[in-house]
Structures are given as C-alpha cells and as structure tokens.
Chains A and B, each alone.
Chain A
Amino acid sequence: DGGITQSPKYLFRKEGQNVTLSCEQNLNHDAMYWYRQDPGQGLRLIYYSQIVNDFQKGDIAEGYSVSREKKESFPLTVTSAQKNPTAFYLCASSIGRSDEQFFGPGTRLTVL
C-alpha cells in the first residue's frame, strides 16, 4: 500500500523547545516538500529536496531545519527560533519537481 505518512497527527510543544515532525514515503519519489498552512492562507513552502543529501530553502525557511539522509524520509525540525510555530504542517512528494505532488495527512502543531 503505497503512500506518504506523517507523524504524529497532533503535537504539542512548550515554548523554547525544538520538535521534529516525521514524513515518510514509499512511492519512490525523488522530490519531497514541507509546507505550512495557516487559516485563510495558501500553503507556503518551507523546504524542499529534489534528491538525497540535498535540500533548498523555500519561502519561509527561517526557524526550520530539515535533513534528507534517505530517499524515503524528510523530517522537519521546528526550532525555538521559529516565533509563531502553531500551524498545520503538510509534507508532500513527487516524482520530479514539475510533477503532481502527493500530500501526507498533515501534523497539527500547537505551542503551549
């Protein structure tokens, strides 16, 4: 059963803590993406990776970090430097940069 998964579904964090969101895909896609979704706004790109061991900043990368050590995995760390981290985070993957993106179910992060 191929797909893209994210965990956890809900995550609570205290101010000042780093937290890592998981994203895994078994679609054999080269490209992976992280987006942030806030109410009433379109998805905004945080980071993307087109190949293992390589990733690029998106439009709102400040306060976030990623790694791409394996083709299947693209974890996102929300650091304490991110001033307003409460949001819905979506991970996506695609065969290539121009191809259809398949989205995971999302992680809702709340900072207490």
Chain B
Amino acid sequence: KNQVEQSPQSLIILEGKNCTLQCNYTVSPFSNLRWYKQDTGRGPVSLTIMTFSENTKSNGRYTATLDADTKQSSLHITASQLSDSASYICVVSGYSSASKIIFGSGTRLSIRP
C-alpha cells in the first residue's frame, strides 16, 4: 500500500534554532517528492521538489534531502523564524493517475520567541 509517514507529528522550538522534519514513504514506482508549507487556514505552498536522481535541494533556509534507496526524505530548517510556524507536508508522486499523489499528514511546527 502506498503510504507517506511524517515525524514528528508536532514540534516546538525556540526562534533561531535549527530543526529537521522526517518523511518516509512506500510509494512505488517513485516519480518525485515535494515539501509544502501550509500556514493555518491557507493552502499549501511548494518549498522544494526532488526527483529520483537528486539527493539535496535548497530553498533559502530550507534544505531537503532524499535517499531513494531507503525511501526517506528530510526537511532541515536553519535559523528558524517566527514565520516558519506552519504545517509542513511531504507529498510523494508515483507514475500513472493523479490518485498516486500521496500526501503525508504533516508536521506542525511552532516557533517560540
């Protein structure tokens, strides 16, 4: 069964600290993996996308990694800011129909001053 599991479910860190969010997936065959940021009550916004051949991608203070062999990805946030408080969603796409786009349940990150 195609699944995307994210951990931790929630995380609280102090402003300025770093953190890492995890995503494990079983989607096969694999096409790409995206990380989205979703502010409360808003739609998700794409942060990064990685295909099978890529193992790291950065977007400002966000760095995503992908290990296609172990089917794991991480999102590292450096020098966190209050505006980083949001849910971070891992989305894995396989080939074939749109129903093979699997969303993780997200990690809710809270940045405290």
A interface residue numbers (CB < 8 A to B): 4, 31, 33, 35, 40-45, 48, 50, 56, 58-59, 88, 90, 92, 97-98, 100-106, 108
Give the size range of B's interface with the partner: 20 to 34
Question: Which positions 71-112 of chain B face chain A at CB distance < 8 Å?
Answer: 89, 93, 97-99, 101-106
Binding site for A on B (CB under 8 A): 4, 9, 31-32, 34, 41-46, 49, 89, 93, 97-99, 101-106
Q: Which of A43, A104, A105 contacts B103 (CB 8 A)?
A: A43
Pick the residue among A40, A45, A103 that contacts B98 (CB under 8 A): A45
Give the distance in Å from the alpha carbon of A80 to the alpha carbon of B102 in the complex. Answer: 27
- 7 residue pairs of the A-B complex, CB under 8 angstroms, read A42-B89, A45-B98, A45-B99, A59-B99, A88-B41, A98-B32, A106-B41
